[in-house]
């Protein structure tokens, strides 16, 4: 069972690597692991250390579309609505707090990013949506996420509340049983971060491997452009 667990986790990294390779060859890429319900936005070049479409380092979308709106319970007891974030840049990630590698790596990048942005951090919303609502209660999110900074907004809810949001962003969590592990199960999920601009459009994607410096550069470019 341990071998199956590590194979599953390694598969997530492979997805990210394949995405970068496909992008660099100029082919289209859909971040959804189980295929699109609708045609995926077409990404342009951008690989972190080189600038892509519009000078961005992230994976840019050639035809930015409005990000699907949603409302979910936040860990602090409030309701988070994506539509209320207009004028802010939103970084959106789907993960879970018991994740052993992908999620803490992403959150660590966010922690560094907040430090790098300093005063401009107020212009950005970093939003963590759980794919494991049974374990990621509001209490658990309030306990776990502050380890990576007070700036991260944790969202949870029932599966009935979360499923439409997962579907809207092509996220299909897959539970992997680990009966011999203290974790009991892992959850396979996409590894990319979505960047939603100040007008509420999906503009950029960041698979594993993009750094806080890369994301900061793109955020400052968007702030300078004002859109």
HSE-up of residue 179 (Cα within 13 Å, Cβ side): 0
Q: Which CATH number does 2-225 carry?
A: 3.40.30.10
Above 80 in pLDDT, residue 34?
no
pLDDT in tens, 162-220: 999 999 999 999 999 998 888 899 999 999 999 999 999 999 999 999 999 999 999 99
Record the tokens describing residue 10, joined without a space: 């390694």
10-34 burial, b for 16+ CB within 10 Å, e for fewer? eebbebbeebbeebeeeeebbbbbe
Q: What pLDDT, on the 0 to 100 scale, is given for residue 218?
A: 98
Q: 74 and 118 in contact (C-beta within 8 Å)? A: no
User: What share of the chain has pLDDT > 90, as a percent?
Assistant: 70
Q: What is the mean pLDDT of the chain?
A: 82
Q: What pLDDT, on the 0 to 100 scale, is given for residue 226?
A: 78
Domain ranges of the chain: 2-225
Q: What pLDDT, on the 0 to 100 scale, is given for residue 167?
A: 97
pLDDT bucket at 53, cuts 50 / 70 / 90: low
Q: 113 and 155 in contact (C-beta within 8 Å)? A: no
Q: What pLDDT, on the 0 to 100 scale, is given for residue 211?
A: 97
Q: What is the dihedral of CA 113, 206, 161, 64, to 10 degrees?
A: 110
Q: Could you tell me the pTM of the whole model? A: 0.79
pLDDT in tens, 5-27: 333 433 443 333 333 323 332 32
Neighbours of 179 (CB within 10 A): 8
Give Cβ neighbours of residue 137 (< 8 Å, ≥ 6 apart). 156
Q: Could you tell me which residues are beta bridge partners of residue 176? A: 186
């Amino acid at each position: 069972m341990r071998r199956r667990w590590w194979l599953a986790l390694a598969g997530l990294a492979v997805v990210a690597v394949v995405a970068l390779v496909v992008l660099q060859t100029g082919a289209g890429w859909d971040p959804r692991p189980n295929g699109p319900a609708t045609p995926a936005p077409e990404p342009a070049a951008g690989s972190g250390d080189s600038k892509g479409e519009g000078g961005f380092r992230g994976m840019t979308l050639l035809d930015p579309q409005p990000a699907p709106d949603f409302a979910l319970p936040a860990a602090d007891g409030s309701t988070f609505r994506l539509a209320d974030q207009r004028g802010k840049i939103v970084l959106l990630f789907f993960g879970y707090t018991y994740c052993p590698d992908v999620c803490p790596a992403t959150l660590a990048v966010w922690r560094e990013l907040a430090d790098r942005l300093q005063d401009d951090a107020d212009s950005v919303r970093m939003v963590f949506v759980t794919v494991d609502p049974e374990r990621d209660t509001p209490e658990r999110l309030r306990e776990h996420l502050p380890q990576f900074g007070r700036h991260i907004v944790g969202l949870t809810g029932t599966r009935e509340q979360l499923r439409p949001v997962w579907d809207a962003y092509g996220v299909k969590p897959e539970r992997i049983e680990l009966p011999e592990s203290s974790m009991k199960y892992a959850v396979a999920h996409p590894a990319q971060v979505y960047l939603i601009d100040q007008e509420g459009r999906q503009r950029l994607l960041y698979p594993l491997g993009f750094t806080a410096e890369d994301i900061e550069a793109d955020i400052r470019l968007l702030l300078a452009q004002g859109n």
